[in-house]
Amino acid sequence: MTTRDLVLSSLFAAIIVALGLLPPITLGIIPVPITAQSLGVMLAGVVLGARRGAIAALIVIALVAIGLPVLSGGRGGLAVFVGPTAGFLIGWVFAAFATGFLSERLVGQEQSGLVQGVSFFLSAAIGGIVVLYAFGIAYLAFAANISLEQAFVGSLAFIPGDVIKAVIAALVGRAVMVGYPLLPQRG
């Protein structure tokens, strides 16, 4: 890991933390709030790639573990890791990695802007929604003592917002690829 990798990962960890300043929206049907921080996870994967994106998410998790209130709603500390949202929090690492891995494989400089945008969107949607939900729903069912089906149905309310986040991540990924052509040399 180079200094540049660490700086970029730290920058995106800061972006994830900054998105936590937006207040969470509680739905009432599920004990997991809607937050903007999953957008930061998608952005880290799309812009930085698999390894650096996952490191950005790990930095945020480390900050949470030492007790800093960096999660939406000012939450932090070890208690977060046993609450119903812990699966989503741990899933950030895997979501950022999957998003980055897919964007590294699907997006190329030689592609048209439309193909790049669609590829970034697919990467963000698969990594930031499918992978993240796999971890979040599984742990939510366990922690809340509900069935996987109930946890899945309750999580469906998040899909429209997360699709919008994936579109934003795709647009940012495309803009970064055009504006900073050396940055996509992800590794």
94-141 pLDDT tens trace: 999 999 999 999 998 888 989 999 999 999 999 999 999 999 999 999
Q: Is residue 187 domain-resident?
A: no
CA-closest candidate to residue 16, choices 56, 52, 69: 56
Of the given ranges (16-25, 31-40, 106-115, 173-182), which has the lowest mean pLDDT?
A: 173-182
15 falls within a domain: yes
**Domain tally, the chain:** 1
Give a yes or no: residue 185 inside a domain. no
Is 101 a member of any domain? Answer: yes
d(Cα 119, Cα 105) in Å, to the nearest integer? 9
- Is 184 within the bounds of a domain? no
Quick check: is 72 in a domain?
A: yes
Q: Residue 186 falls within a domain, yes or no?
A: no
Percent of the chain at pLDDT exceeding 70: 95
CATH number at residue 119: 1.10.1760.20
Alpha carbon distance 93, 106 (integer Å): 20
Model confidence, pTM: 0.92
- Domain span at 150: 3-179
C-alpha 115: how far from chain center:
22
Q: Indicate the Cα dihedral angle 130, 20, 73, 31, nearest 10°.
A: 0
Compute how many other C-beta atoms are within 10 angstroms of the C-beta atom of residue 159.
12
